[in-house]
Chains A and B, each alone.
Chain A
């Protein structure tokens, strides 16, 4: 089992550019969540995708958008990059969200984005 994989590992962009990050969920998982982890901070929830739709969203501007594909993999897109977007971007996969017990999220190693 490959677990959650993310690509690329590292990325350097300049202000104003656009970036796309990719995530493949753990085998058997159908839900993908994205988090931003600034240096020295805990992860902040960006949004969650299930059945190819955005289901929940954190307090992030519309410059952050995403997509989920039929094979459950996902992309995170960030437009008009700002210096403050520099962070580790984590993808987490889980089983379908629901009102029952908490579904454990499995995290990938992250993509380190540096905006110059």
Chain B
């Protein structure tokens, strides 16, 4: 079945550092790919998405490119802020339109 694998956290960075959170997936067809963010005490929010190969999703300075050849959708940001501290979930959906989530990666940004 479909699955998503994310790098384990926590990822700890200083403010203004470059961020990469790795995500790879397994799917039978051609899924849509997503990154969600969960701030402390809140529900998940959709951060960005890509629906086909080579698409780049972007939002709030975050980017991720749908790489079919490497089945990856890595999340990047050029300069993180303390306010980016949260848990980030990679997810995919196909067919049923119900997302399958990875385990999440905690990001901690220090001033």
Hey, which bits of chain A sit against chain B, CB under 8 A? Answer: 4, 33, 40-45, 48, 56, 58, 90, 92, 97-98, 101-110
Contacts and interface: CB of A to CB of B under 8 A. Distances in A.
B43 A102 contact: no
Contact of A97 (B46, B97, B102): B97
Nearest to B104: A42
Most buried by B among A42, A97, A102, A108: A42
Most buried by B among A56, A102, A110: A102
Most buried by A among B43, B49, B51: B43
Contact of B89 (A33, A42, A105): A42
B73 interface: no
Contacts of A107: 43-45
Contacts of A103: 97
Nearest to A58: B98
Nearest to B93: A102
A101 B49 CA distance: 12
Contact of B51 (A42, A43, A102, A105): A102
Contact of B41 (A56, A104, A106, A109): A109
22 contacts: A40-B104, A41-B103, A42-B91, A42-B102, A42-B104, A45-B99, A45-B100, A56-B96, A58-B98, A90-B43, A90-B44, A92-B44, A97-B97, A104-B46, A105-B46, A105-B99, A106-B43, A107-B43, A107-B44, A109-B42, A109-B43, A110-B43
Nearest to B102: A42
A9 to B, nearest CB: 9
